[in-house]
Chains A and B, each alone.
Chain A
Amino acid sequence: MKSETDDLSDVIKLISDIKHKTLLSSHDIALSTEKLLVNLISHGNWSSALDLMELIRRRIKCLSQSLPMEATATNIMRHILKVIREEFEVASKKKGEAHSLHHIVTGALSNILDYSESLTSLKAALLDHLSEYKTELETSAENIAAQASEHIHSNETILTFGSSRTVKMFLKSASKKRTFNVIVVEAAPLYLGHSLAVSLAKSNIQTTVIADSAVFAMMSRVNKVIIGTHTVLANGGLRAISGTHTVGLAAKHYSVPVMVLSHMYKFTPIYLGSNDHDTLNILANPATVIPYSSGAVLNKADIATPMFDYVPPELVTLFITHQGGNSPSYVYRLLSEVYHPDDYEI
């Protein structure tokens, strides 16, 4: 155990960058997390897979304590834990426990791997894998966007809420082959919808901006709802910016399919059953909703400004990742592909 020499300075830097909004989009966070891991593997103080996994676990704990809302960085680290396990198995030419029915029934625990064994080839293999992973991160949005023409037909009306980089790329990619209309909901209090609308209009897509209150009225004419999300939860639900739940309910009411574009690093192995969870939400500055100039009335009123909404899985029709489309009921399986079950809880 080399914890005395491990000062966690790299992860503290990452946390402060996220907190100070130097890193805003989850894509940027993902890339700098990957960089952190490369650094840790190549220069970190470890000799065995067990040591390295311990180092990463400490970072995940540190991250999830300081930023309980931020899932991207911890998810990437969690994924790398699984990569370490796999690379170790390959390097040591041993087979880890197989999750077969037979194994569960017989309870045979014969082949538990000893990760403390030191392997010289592990570092190189891991760095190789990470550079591959980096390419995957970088091309993920493009891969999602490349599927656009499979999901959008001509003359469609598509509603989107707020702004997401992936959604923007998706729609722009679709506009090369199809003509369609986009309705952008402005999404108070951040009004990110405005910048998305401007960007889409500049790429020659017919765009209409509507107020948050017009979602239900417009939904009857919408063919598809395409949104991004902050996090995909283990049950297939979403933690997305506030207002998304209403959009989902309205879409359900009119039987409009809701497609969620998401990178794999947004899939998080946590369960949050409802909006009540303290860990689900944070409250923003009330001045984003009602200006301080409103005067004395502010002393008498509570101003609620939640940032996120919980969207239950039954309101989501499809998740589109760089691997293709999946329904919410399949999320558990995707999770087990990305993370090792032992790493769900850290």
Chain B
Amino acid sequence: MSQQPLSDVNAKVNDQIFGKDKKNKNKPQNNNNLKGNAPEKTSNDKLTEKQLRKLEWEKKLKERELETDVKSDADKTLSKAELKAKRREQQEAQRQAKTDKSKVIEQVPEKPIVSKIAKLPPELPYLNTHKTPLKKSFEASRTNPKQVQLVKHLYRIPNLEHQSKIVNFKDIHPVFVRLGVQYSEKVILGSNARALALLSAIKTLINDIQTPSKQEFCRYFQAILQSCTDYIQDCRPFAVSMTNALRAFKHQLRHIDTNHSDNEKRAILLEFIETYVRNDMLKAWDAICMKVNEKILNGDVILIYGCSSLIRRILLEAYKDGKHFSVIIVDSRPLLEGREMLRRLAVAGIKCSYAIINSLSCVMKQATKVLLGAHALLTNGSVMSRIGTAQVALVAQAYNKPVLVCCETYKFSERVQTDSFVYNEIGDPDLFLNIDTSSNSNPLVSQKDNNKLNILNLLYDVTPPDLVTAVVTELAILPCTSVPAVLRINAGENSI
């Protein structure tokens, strides 16, 4: 199995992207060790095990129902802080349970978790059980007055309840469960990091999955993958990068030759992911770095916004090449990613200044170029990126500064969007309450329950194409309006 080299690459990339945030990186290996054991079992064992598990599962289901009833009653009387504490407790318990389980598994290798995943037919009733509460809370959310009317469609169900329910569901691989938590807790942040994490989770799934008899590997895999990605989608909506990577993978999955053996298919799929990461991400980054590097001159003052992994890489590489330039880092609440960028660049020795987005028109004058990262490039040429990017581009245009958006072509999307509301994400409004630079208590805290007072924390905005000078891709430096052309070329390549 050719997994080793890619995981090396991944580890390297993760280092660059996650940095200090790679808390849970070492866990997934557990499952890899187990998968080999599953096929050795006799059918007799399987049967009894199956029955046992069925009983266990039914029991669990009942418990869960009871629990939710109790919980929903209890929840009414609990304050938010208490809820949080309770949730933490639950997660702790689950974590405990999980580690216990894995210990057991280590001792008794004939009982891998993976085989559970493998043997559950995808159309079990639990799918319904977890969908009904979703719908209910969606209805409830319609009448919630704490939501901003304008973006009501963007509010999602508070995921604490269904997360705690879904954690032990059997057809979702633990890697995906953890990934979902990492996404929703923003441990993995940034579209590149998120796409890479998704792909490596899919790789684990490929290795671990066991096709039940009479089922075709790819079909079965597709079904399992679907429920895993549905779960991820519930935790946090997909980034465009993830959607595109997943689409490419599924395309490959559908077009795989059915005459291969399962292991051959695994190898093909793993090889595909590896190639995808290598070509569309790693090589694209190198190419973009080179292209931007040509555009950075000695004495340049480069204004950047937030903390894009690609931009950081570009700047660090240009600095390594001996270019003399300084950087203005513009930052904004509530994420304050720019501080991380400042730390990284300053440690590397690059001359930095730091300003918040309100000071933009004062610092823009000193800048000679503006470099921005992107979440996605839409077909109409709009750039979707972290909130505030459009503002930086707008001020840059007012001061006649060139705006370069750096974006890999795998983030190009067929969607079109002209405003920032149709598709967006709502962040946690409570982030606004905490101001780390002020010791005064925030007046908003006392009015949190006032129905007339909303806090809106949008995560993305859409920059119209006329504010962007050019987009740097691995193919070429292009105008934003070339997105459909690039998409057409890529589509043509894929179909061959």
Contact = CB atoms under 8 A, between A and B. Distances in A.
B327 to A, nearest CB: 10
Contact of A288 (B148, B388, B438): B438
B365 A214 contact: no
B362 A195 contact: no
B34 interface: no
B378 to A, nearest CB: 15
B452 A207 contact: yes
A208 B455 contact: yes
Interface string A213-250: 11111101100000000000000000001110110011
A304 B328 CA distance: 10
7 contacts: A188-B356, A212-B332, A221-B421, A290-B342, A304-B328, A304-B355, A309-B358
A294 B339 contact: yes
A325 interface: no
A112 interface: no
B356 A208 contact: no
Interface string A198-214: 10111011111111111
Interface stretch (A10-18, A78-86, A295-303): A295-303
Given A302-B353, A303-B353, 18 more contacts: A187-B358, A189-B438, A197-B444, A198-B443, A201-B453, A211-B334, A217-B461, A221-B150, A242-B362, A243-B359, A243-B360, A246-B395, A275-B362, A291-B436, A294-B343, A300-B346, A305-B355, A309-B361
The binding surface of chain B is classed by DSSP as: mixed
B437 A289 contact: yes
A32 B356 CA distance: 34
Q: Which of B358, B420, B435 has the most CB of A within 10 A?
A: B358
Contacts of B328: 304
B443 A289 contact: no
Contact of B356 (A200, A212, A220): A212
A209 B454 contact: yes
Contacts of B359: 242-243, 304-306
B292 interface: no
Q: Which of A189, A215, A242, A246 has the most CB of B within 10 A?
A: A246
A32 B353 CA distance: 40
Contacts of A187: 358
Contacts of B193: none
A220 B452 CA distance: 22
A119 B333 CA distance: 61
Contact of A301 (B334, B352, B435, B452): B352
B352 A300 contact: yes
A253 B332 CA distance: 21
A302 B328 CA distance: 9
A291 to B, nearest CB: 5
Q: Which of B149, B361, B438 has the most CB of A within 10 A?
A: B361
B391 interface: yes
A300 B345 CA distance: 10
Contacts of A289: 354-356, 437
Contacts of B388: 211-214, 216
Given A187-B358, A205-B452, A217-B390, A288 B442 contact: no
A198 B447 contact: yes
Contacts of B150: 221
A253 B466 CA distance: 11
Nearest to A275: B362
- 3 tightest Cβ-Cβ pairs between the two chains A and B: A213-B388, A243-B358, A201-B453
Given A202-B447, A209-B453, A250-B394, A188 B333 contact: yes
Contacts of A4: none
Nearest to B353: A302
Given A209-B455, A215-B391, A304 B362 contact: yes
Interface in B114-136: none
Nearest to B305: A213
Given A191-B438, A201-B450, A205-B452, A301 B358 contact: no
A186 interface: yes
B391 A194 contact: no
B391 A213 contact: yes
B357 A220 contact: no
Given A207-B453, A220-B419, A301 B346 contact: yes
Interface in B330-353: 332-334, 339, 342-343, 346-347, 352-353
Nearest to B429: A209
A208 B453 CA distance: 6
A194 B442 contact: yes
B462 interface: yes
A58 B452 CA distance: 50
B217 to A, nearest CB: 45
A215 B361 CA distance: 14
Interface in A160-214: 181, 186-189, 191, 194-195, 197-198, 200-202, 204-214
A212 B358 contact: yes
A301 B327 CA distance: 10
Contacts of A306: 359, 362
A345 interface: no
A191 B352 contact: no
B456 A304 contact: no
Contact of B390 (A186, A200, A216, A309): A216
Contacts of B357: 188, 212-213, 243, 246
Given A246-B358, A281-B362, A309-B361, A287 B437 contact: yes
B446 A209 contact: no
Contacts of A206: 452, 454
Q: Which of A216, A218, A288, A289 has the most CB of B within 10 A?
A: A216
B155 interface: no
Interface string A299-317: 0111111100110000000
B358 A201 contact: no
B239 interface: no
A181 B390 CA distance: 24
Q: Which of A221, A243, A304 has the most CB of B within 10 A?
A: A304
Contacts of B346: 297, 300-301
A241 B362 CA distance: 12
A276 interface: yes
A16 B395 CA distance: 37
A115 B346 CA distance: 64
A178 B387 CA distance: 31
Contacts of B438: 189, 191, 288
B353 A246 contact: no
Contacts of A249: 361, 394-395, 398
Interface in B454-472: 454-458, 461-462
B333 A213 contact: yes
A127 B254 CA distance: 91
Nearest to A190: B438
B220 interface: no
Nearest to B394: A249
Contact of A212 (B333, B347, B363, B455): B333
A188 to B, nearest CB: 5
Given A209-B454, A250-B391, A189 B356 contact: yes
